[in-house]
């Protein structure tokens, strides 16, 4: 197996409240990605294989990083959180938060209801999300040479859940912590992929870039 570096996309449209409107990088998102690409180039990081989801924000992030055109795979796409949140509100009366702090309780509520099959008509089941994350990561791991994968926060938290045996509250805390253009690395140890890097943003550590350490 080869090691995999997962990268969350750059900052997207933070004002959006639906999937379509959210799916584009902000000017800061493009800048974050460009800084990360320059950091990897300066470090002479070797990633002969590049993958991404099929979402616009994934493709734009890879382009702004100046990566080779990625192999796109829809299994690397984000969950439809806005859709799931709307179902939770319509079916169970749980309002979508207006402020970021409200998502600290809202995210695990959505994940729990989704996992337990309490949402009618979701775009995919929680179990289908689990399966696609597992399958695509292990397929990439079987390839030759290190891989970089541009994806999204909830997908990364699911991969970490599977690697570390996390429960839903722990997975939710990880998802909330993941910063835009952060790096997360899985390394094969024995027959398993183990996390050796989480939420790293070396390209945003300089004092004049702290403002760019965003979560949404």
* Predicted pLDDT at 16: 64
* Predicted pLDDT at 190: 87
* Predicted pLDDT at 181: 98
What 210-215 contacts at long range (C-beta under 8 Å, 24+ apart), as own/partner pairs, is: 212/28, 212/31, 212/32, 212/35, 213/179, 214/11, 214/28, 214/32, 214/179, 214/180, 215/100, 215/176, 215/177, 215/178, 215/179, 215/180
Give the pTM.
0.95
* Predicted pLDDT at 210: 98
pLDDT along the chain (216 residues), means of 10: 94 79 92 98 92 97 97 97 95 88 90 97 98 97 95 98 96 96 95 95 98 94
Domain ranges (residues) in the chain: 20-79+124-180
E-state strands within the chain: 4-8, 49-52, 71-72, 147-151, 183-189, 192-200
Superfamily of domain 20-79+124-180: Phosphoglycerate mutase-like (3.40.50.1240)
């Amino acid at each position: 197996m080869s090691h995999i570096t997962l990268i969350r996309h750059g900052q997207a449209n933070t004002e959006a409240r639906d999937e379509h409107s959210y799916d584009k990088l902000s000017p800061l998102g493009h800048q974050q990605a460009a800084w990360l690409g320059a950091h990897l180039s300066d470090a002479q990081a070797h990633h002969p294989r590049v993958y991404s989801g099929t979402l616009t924000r994934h493709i734009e992030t890879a382009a702004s990083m100046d990566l080779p055109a990625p192999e796109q795979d829809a299994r690397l796409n984000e969950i439809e959180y806005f859709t799931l949140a709307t179902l939770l509100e319509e079916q169970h009366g749980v309002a979508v938060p207006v402020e970021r702090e409200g998502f600290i309780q809202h995210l695990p509520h959505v994940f729990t209801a989704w996992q337990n099959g309490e949402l009618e008509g979701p775009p995919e089941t929680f179990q289908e999300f689990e399966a696609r994350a597992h399958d695509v990561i292990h397929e990439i791991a079987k390839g030759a040479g290190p891989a970089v994968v541009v994806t999204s926060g909830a997908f990364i938290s699911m991969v970490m859940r599977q690697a570390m045996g996390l429960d839903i509250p722990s997975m939710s805390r990880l998802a909330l912590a993941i910063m835009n253009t952060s790096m997360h690395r899985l390394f094969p140890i024995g027959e398993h992929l183990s996390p050796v890097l989480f939420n790293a943003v070396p390209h945003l550590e300089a004092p004049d870039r702290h403002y760019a350490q965003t979560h949404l």
